[in-house]
Structure 1
Amino acid sequence: MAEHRRWLLVSLFLTKVLLLEASKILTIATMGGSHCRLMKHVSQILQDHGHNVTNLLHENVPFQDFKKEKTSYEVITWRPPEDQEKEFHSRVYLLVEELFNERFNHHTLVKMYKYFVDVCSHLLSRKDIMGSLRKKNFDLLFLDAAEPCVFLIAEKLEKQFVAFLPMQFSFMDFGLPSPLSYVPVYGSRLTDQMDFWGRVKNFLMFFDFSMKQRRILSHYDATIQEHFAEGSRPVLSDLLLKAELWFVNSDFAFEFARPLLPNTVYVGGLMDKPTRPIPQDLEDFISKFGDSGFVLVALGSLVTLHQTKELIKEMNSAFARLPQGVLWTVKEDHWPKDVRLAPNVKIMDWVPQNDLLAHPSIRLFVTHGGMNSIMEAIQQGVPIVGIPFCADQPENMIRIEVKKIGVSVQLETIKAETFALTLKEVIEDKRYKTAAMTARAIRRSHPLTPSQRLVGWIDHILQTGGGTHLKPHGFQQPWHVQYLLDVLLFLLGLTLATLWLLKKVLGLLLRTLCVARKEKKA
């Protein structure tokens, strides 16, 4: 009997495994650059775990700086017609230039999303692409939530989906409890330890951020009206709450502690991979500096393309004052001809960043503060000097400073002498290295790796038919019910009615007493 039961359990287990292997998952990231790189990595993780993965890829996206390579999962590519693609590209190049000149103000951000809306509208109108996706009858969609179009695609395909947030929580409201007394609003530049005026600022910033978010989402209204029939048009903000799970590209070693819901999972560090020996030419360069070690400078693909002559000149001069060697990602054809390269600096189009961060001779990482770069630095326990340019980068660097892992330098203030002093301070002050190693210990001490957490929760959703049991009923309540405004109004009304009744009763008693006194006197 026991043997029969054992075989029955084994059979059930194998059946589940076979069913999971047959699960068809569509991964979508409509933005380029690091978003596509990360989604490619997620696609491979899920494929290696036994799922049948298809990746929808916007081909030839501007600044999509990675090589085409063979994959074991299916890739469906799409691109607009040539004339429309040229128009899209010219728009985005102008916006990126404006982004770097005006430092990511809200006006530029709105224009960026208008561009994404137009690309989204084109994709939804592609009957060949949408029809092909519908025929595949996917079991689950995995969406990069940085651009709202992915939620409209999921709604159009009428499939369950999980969402992946490649940046901080505060960038998007998807229903998490966010007490304003210690959860900073996106753009506030505050920490979780706010004084009175900090809480005032955070409270006011909440309303400002909410209005800006509504304005951005409202740009998709025309696209929704065009591509969804009347009576079935979704509200974009409501679609965020439909996600079965939210995966967040962050970690307890980096993020401020805050309330989470059961359907919210940290998976920061998905790009982690085993380190490999670095190329011999880099090893030879590093060895020249002996115990002084080296500094790695990698400011991201976008920034690398738009480093100004003045910035390169000041940074190069600062690096020349260091005893360390410096490996710096600068494309050779972008290097100003009248600027002489410092003797301790080696410039390269591309560097094996993760392998260099794991090198025993590294002393400092100079970065733009992108989430993936920060996760790699924390994984290896490397102190950071950040030069944030845009998006979530300034907010990321605030957390790095609070954790004492490094310091942030404003782009406008970079001068050779002061920048060199900042670099030396972080290299020589052992407190930064100690804090980086503490964050490394937190990061590495999880019982499961980011990839294991990702596939484990995906399997859970597939096995249970969704994540309804992980989401609070509050997602289905109107806002006035969720925030107990109806209860407060009822209690206020009851209190006022009681006071009014009490006043009437007291008035009646006083009049009765007055009449009684008059009768006695008479």
Structure 2
Amino acid sequence: MRAHWSWLLVSFFLLELLLLEAAKILTISTLGASHYIVMSRVSQILHGSGHNVTKLLHETVRLPDFRKEKPSYQVINWHLPEDQQKKLDKRQRLLREELIYGRFEHHTLVKIYRNFASVCSHLLSRKDIMEFLQNENFDVVLLDSLDFCSLLIAEKLGKPFVSFYPGQISFMDLGLPSPLSYVPVYGSGLTDQMDFWGRVKNFLMFFDFSMKRKEMLSQYDGTIQEHFSEGSRPVLSDLLLKAELWFVNSDFALDFARPLFPNTVFVGGLLDKPVQPIPHDLENFISQFGDSGFVLVALGSIVTMHQTKEVLKEMNSAFGHLPQGVLWTCKDSLWPKDVRLAPNVKIMDWLPQTDLLAHPSIRLFVTHGGLNSLNEAIQHGVPIVGIPFFADQPENMVRVEAKKIGVSIQIQKLKAETFALTMKEVIEDKRYKSAAMASKIIRQSQPLTPAQRLVGWIDHILQTGDAAHLRPYVFQQPWHEQYMLDVLLFLLGLTLGTLWLCVKVLGAVARYLSGARKVKQT
């Protein structure tokens, strides 16, 4: 009987799959390599699940060599005119250098988003692309929420959209409950366990960061005025709250526990893929170091291009003090000719990062603290030493340290001796490895994989028409109702009115009694 019911359930499931028509989904990727990698993976997963996927791609996105595959879904490439692109590339290069070395980070971010807004104006002016997208009549748009232009594209198309957030959830206002007593504000450097002064700092930084975020969004005001008619001009902060679903590229293996709404789905580990054997030359290099194992070093494509000779020299010297072998993603063309490579170090333009993190001989991962890299390290239970440079990387490393998975070193304080001691400490202290394995178990013991959660929730909103049943009514309330200010004012007025009435009544009674006493005495 039980087997009969199991067969019926399987039959109903297969029937549901057959009845569910393939949806037309537009994905948008116009930002840097790490953003492209995630959105490419999202597109692959949705296409593999039977949906018709079209990806809008900024043609100048710099792709790592290992990502130059030919996708099976449709890709629409677009680009700026050559002269404009050269100017943009030069500005972006200078701004990245400014950002990496920590000079005026917020002002630099504002200028970067100003450039993005300029590019967005060009894209929205491309009638051929916009008309093509309009005629395709997509069922849903899946976009990178840090690419504000993609929000405007979805608004232009008049299509429901799903937002994929590639960083720490605290950077963007998703409308989530965020109690300042234990939810750290982005940039605060705080954990969820704050003392009194930590809560004071968090409270003050909430207002500071809210103003900074508003300034970044305002860089698109000119673009909105140019491409949307008066009376129908959207507000970017309001568009963010219109998302049917929020997918977040993290989970509680790394992030701090906090309140979520039903339309917020964590999919940390989405880039995980089957482990492949590493090339023979790398295996031969690793085997030279026996039980000592090896250290993997990967600081991201942007950081790699902008590292100074001094930083490379200090890192190389530190690696030379380790008994482990060191595999380092660093372009040979960028290596200083007068710096001799340590004998236990091998540099390569590209390394199979995921496969090396899964290798049994790995002892440590040295990273810039990018979320994709941290997710891969957690997936394989590898301890971390982070050298954060900019953006969300310092905040990511705060979480790594809070979870006891590894430690962080500021680039300004990176010296060979202290760097070597830090790496040795993380390798030799088994508590870091234990914490990394604990995070791995948290990640892998969930009932569904990140890809299954992604596809399942997309299919859910396609079948139900939208995700209105998942979005709380708070998104439609004016701010004074959200914070119960009208109720508080009413109760305050009622209390004050009652007190005033009581005083008046008591005064009248007192005067009456006083008058009655005088009459009696006469």
Query: Does the alignment reach a TM-score above 0.5?
Result: yes
Q: TM-score scaled by structure 2?
A: 0.96
Q: Which residue of 2 aligns with 1:371?
A: 371
Q: Which residue of 2 aligns with 1:214?
A: 214
1:21-62 deviation per Cα after TM superposition (whole angstroms, max 9, x unaligned): 421000012212111111111111100000000000000135
The amino acid across from 2:498 in the alignment is T
Taking the aligned partners of 1:489 and 1:305, their CA distance within structure 2 comes to 57
Equivalent residue pairs, number = 518
Q: Which residue of 2 aligns with 1:238?
A: 238
Q: Is the 8 A contact 2:59 2:78 kept in 1?
A: yes
Q: Which residue of 1 aligns with 2:300?
A: 300
Runs of 5+ consecutive residues of structure 1 not aligned to the other structure: 1-5
Q: Are residues 1:348 and 2:342 paired? A: no
Q: Is the 8 A contact 2:65 2:350 kept in 1?
A: no
Q: Which residue of 2 aligns with 1:275?
A: 275
User: Where does 1:71-82 land on structure 2 (aligned, <5 Å)?
Assistant: 71-82=71-82
User: Where does 1:352-501 land on structure 2 (aligned, <5 Å)?
Assistant: 352-501=352-501
Shift of 1:102: 2.9
Taking the aligned partners of 1:478 and 1:354, their CA distance within structure 2 comes to 46
1:112-166 deviation per Cα after TM superposition (whole angstroms, max 9, x unaligned): 1101110111111111111110110000110111121111110000001100000
Shift of 1:8: 12
Taking the aligned partners of 1:237 and 1:94, their CA distance within structure 2 comes to 28
Q: Which residue of 2 aligns with 1:37?
A: 37
Identity %: 73
User: Where does 1:16-165 land on structure 2 (aligned, <5 Å)?
Assistant: 16-18=16-18, 20-61=20-61, 67-103=67-103, 105-165=105-165
Q: Which residue of 1 aligns with 2:3?
A: none
Taking the aligned partners of 1:414 and 1:274, their CA distance within structure 2 comes to 35
Runs of 5+ consecutive residues of structure 2 not aligned to the other structure: 1-5
Question: Which secondary structure state, in structure 1, belongs to the residue aligned with residue 57 of structure 2?
Answer: strand
Taking the aligned partners of 1:402 and 1:46, their CA distance within structure 2 comes to 34
1:395-438 deviation per Cα after TM superposition (whole angstroms, max 9, x unaligned): 00000001100000000111111110000000000000010111
The amino acid across from 2:438 in the alignment is T
Q: Which residue of 2 aligns with 1:3?
A: none
The amino acid across from 1:475 in the alignment is F
Shift of 1:11: 9.5
Shift of 1:69: 2.1
Taking the aligned partners of 1:378 and 1:98, their CA distance within structure 2 comes to 30
The amino acid across from 1:247 in the alignment is F
Q: TM-score scaled by structure 1?
A: 0.96
Taking the aligned partners of 2:12 and 2:421, their CA distance within structure 1 comes to 64
Q: Which residue of 1 aligns with 2:190?
A: 190
Question: Which secondary structure state, in structure 2, belongs to the residue aligned with residue 366 of structure 1?
Answer: strand
Q: Is the 8 A contact 2:295 2:324 kept in 1?
A: yes
Shift of 1:20: 3.6
Question: Which secondary structure state, in structure 2, belongs to the residue aligned with residue 213 of structure 1?
Answer: helix
Question: Which secondary structure state, in structure 2, belongs to the residue aligned with residue 162 of structure 1?
Answer: strand
Shift of 1:109: 0.9
Taking the aligned partners of 1:287 and 1:135, their CA distance within structure 2 comes to 57
Taking the aligned partners of 2:380 and 2:13, their CA distance within structure 1 comes to 38
Q: Is the 8 A contact 2:369 2:387 kept in 1?
A: yes
Taking the aligned partners of 1:458 and 1:397, their CA distance within structure 2 comes to 31
Q: Is the 8 A contact 1:65 1:301 kept in 2?
A: no
Q: 1:12 to 1:385 in 2, by over 3 A?
A: closer
Q: Is the 8 A contact 2:114 2:219 kept in 1?
A: yes
Taking the aligned partners of 2:12 and 2:184, their CA distance within structure 1 comes to 47
The amino acid across from 1:156 in the alignment is K
Q: Is the 8 A contact 1:276 1:355 kept in 2?
A: yes
